[in-house]
Structure formats: structure tokens, C-alpha cells
Amino acid sequence: MSVLKINFNQLNKPYRFNMVNSNLSCKPLYLTVYPKYINLQGNIFYGGLTHYECNLHHDIEKILGVMNSKLYGRYEETYGATDTYPIRFAIYHNQIFFSDLMSLSVYKNDSNIRKEINQKYHLQDEFYEPTREEIYQDYFREFFLKNRKKYGNHVEWHRLNLTPQEYFRIMISSKTRELSPFIDANALNAYDLRYWLNCNTDTFIDFTSPWETTGVYNQETMAFLNSLKETKLGIYHFFDQFSKQAKDWPKAVQELLVALGKHSSFTPSKKESKDIFSDDSTYEENIYWDNLFSLASYDMLVQWIGFDKIETQLSKTITTSKPNIYETFFNFFLMDYDIIQLPRLIFEEDTQQFRWIDPNEFMNLGINRECEQEIKLIKKYVPPSERKKYFKK
């Protein structure tokens, strides 16, 4: 029995809680959010925060943007390059220096790319791994100024453009680590809350405590952050599986938009004069597709990925594309919820095609049909006040 386990008291009203430990002297920090979806793990995802990390549509835009991207030249000089997924580094005195954390991470964790770079630029496998602070403080410049008299002024600046497949693999691996749950509320600090929610306590805003200070936020705050991480991770895992099924990514993404009725051809804007040094057509096209991905993402979440939409504008209403609604929402039906069932979009790996499954195609047999009949009998003979006795556990 796959009955959905949700707290009815939180389903159709705002969730408000104090994020700060009550035994501290700082002012309470209340957060109010609203139930928006039931995620793939059967838990509530709360919306209402405008922060980037709290908007699931941005994650979908980013993922589809990678899958829809084109491949440019593998290596390019730094200046004048416009590629989407580069790693940047300098070669000086047969050593490699990194311009940002992503470049370091790719070189460090992807053995194939590291081997390719080492062979191309005749580098040794051993390399100096800078800290985050050293990269931010431009550790290469410090090394160069200190040793230019000894080693000379010749520096090679390079960009290696990752293929969409390489970047996608790195992104999934990075997100899997980043979205692992917090395990100790006392370890949370201001950096964590600023990153995930863009809010803070007065003790940090007023600079009475450094941002590294821990022990400020409570268990309820950690649980909320983990619910956000859990929801986002479910989306990345879904697209990771889809990426392994789709053979031609750009074609599959375009057909996805067609299936959702959101597809249209990109037409560059006309310009009176053509400046070869300020061609922003690639940027313009990327923005165009991102807008379409964002528009389509609302339907994707329910009808393709498998989220259930909590219709806060309609009391006690849930929109879903699940086939076994009487089994899944058994307890909800008993409490007189309206379950709106939409067609489900699936991708068939054998044919490389998307297909809609209409609710009328669902086979109402087995446990699902038994649940439907049981619901009808309970609602006919048992008053609402006593129906909780018949909930499925």
C-alpha cells in the first residue's frame, strides 16, 4: 500500500516557525512559507520565498539549458571566447594555476580531463591544490610576481570548453554532494542560511557575531532546509535518468517542448548595424530557450516529473498525474479532498519519443480499484468526524 503520508494540518495553510534557538538572546526570526507541491519522496515542498535556490524552475532551466546546448571548440584563448561551459587555467613554468573553484574541481576530480590537459601541456600528475581563499586572492599573481625574474614573463592562458555531457555529469555529481542533508542543526551558520534562504538573524545583520558562528539555528530550521534539498535532489536525479535514456539531447529537449505545447522557433532580433565585436546572438538565444524552459517547467513538475500540486487557491484540492490515485490518496479521499488527475507524459526509450497517457487509459484494477470501492463505502456509511479510524497506515 503506497498511501501518501502527509500532515493534514499543514497541507492547506501557511507554515510559520521561528528559526532561532529560543534560549539565545537574539530576536526571533520567523519564516512563513506556503505548501506548494508534494515532492517525489512524498513530503511537502513549501514555496513563497523569492530566493533563487528556493525556485525549482531555475533548476529545470539550468538542466535543460545544458542538455540543449551546442558544442564549441575544445580549447580556446581566454579573450574573445563566448562558450558556455569553460574551465579556465594558466600554465606557467610547467605548472597549472586555476582561476576559479569549478576549474580546480573539474581538474581534480575528472581523471580523463586531467590526463588530457596534462598530455597537451606536458604537465606532471602532481599539482599544487590551492585553497578557496588562495583562489579568491589570486594566488597565481602572487606566485608570478615573486618568480618572474627567475622564470620569465611567459604565461599561457587557456580555456577548455566542456562538452554538454561532461558538464552535465559534473553538475549531477556536484549537486548530489551539495544537496546531501544537514545532520547537525548546531553546525549551521550565517553562510548556510544566506545561501539557501537569503535571510539571517539580527546577531549577524548587526555584526554582533561573525558569520561563522554556529549554534544559532534550531532543528526546525535544519528540517526545512533538508526538505528543500530533498526536493531539488529529486529533480536532478530524475533528469539524470532521462539523460541516460535520451540519445540525442537537443532533439529530445525540443520534442519535450513540442509535447508540452511550448515550442516555437528562435528568431534573432534584427539589428541596424552588425558589430562583429559585440555579437550577443548566442546569449540572446540562450535567454530565449531559458524563458521557454521556465514556462514549460510548471507542467513538467506535475505531468512529467511526478510532483503533486497543492492548489492553495482551491481549498482541499490536489492536482496529480499519478495513475493509482485511490491507492495513493486514500486518506485524502476520505477527508473529502478533490484530486484532479491530469494526463501523464512519459519518454519511451525504445522509440525515443514522448507520449501522453490519458487518465482514461489507466487500468483501475487490483489494489487501486479495491481502494476506490472501499472509499465509496466508508464515505457512504461513516460521518467525516469518524473517518480517520479507517486511514491506511
Per-residue pLDDT at 318: 96
Residue 1 is predicted with a pLDDT of 55
Strand runs labelled E in the chain: 15-18, 30-38, 44-47, 75-76, 86-92, 95-98, 156-161, 308-310, 317-320, 338-341, 344-348, 353-357
Q: Which long-range contacts (CB under 8 A, 24 or more apart) does 67-70 make?
A: 67/164, 67/168, 67/239, 67/243, 67/246, 67/249, 67/250, 67/252, 67/253, 68/249, 68/250, 68/253, 68/254, 68/289, 69/164, 69/250, 70/164, 70/250
Tens-place pLDDT, residues 333-385: 999 999 999 999 999 999 999 999 988 776 667 888 899 999 999 999 999 99
Cα–Cα distance measured from residue 155 to residue 140, given in angstroms and rounded to the nearest whole number: 11
DSSP state of 294: H
| Residue whose C-alpha cell is 537537443 | 250
Average pLDDT, the chain: 90
Confidence of residue 312 (pLDDT cuts 50, 70, 90): confident
Percent of the chain whose pLDDT exceeds 90: 69
Could you identify the residue written with the cell 528562435?
266
Has residue 99 got a pLDDT over 50?
yes
User: What is the full DSSP assignment across 90-117?
Assistant: EEETTEEEESSHHHHHHHHH-HHHHHHH
Segment 188-231, tens digit of pLDDT: 999 999 999 999 898 898 888 899 999 999 999 999 999 999 99
Residue 315 pLDDT class (50, 70, 90 cuts):
confident
The domains of the chain are located at 8-68+173-268+279-374, 75-162
In this predicted structure, the answer to whether residue 164 has a pLDDT above a threshold of 50 is yes
User: What is the strand order of the sheet 86-92 is part of?
Assistant: 75-76, 156-161, 86-92, 95-98
The per-residue pLDDT for range 26-47, each reduced to its tens digit, is: 889 999 999 999 999 999 999 9
Amino acid at 22: S
Band (277; pLDDT cuts 50, 70, 90):
very low
Q: Residue written as cell 510548471?
A: 298
Going by C-beta distance under 8 Å and a sequence separation of 6 or more, which residues neighbour residue 124? Answer: 94, 118
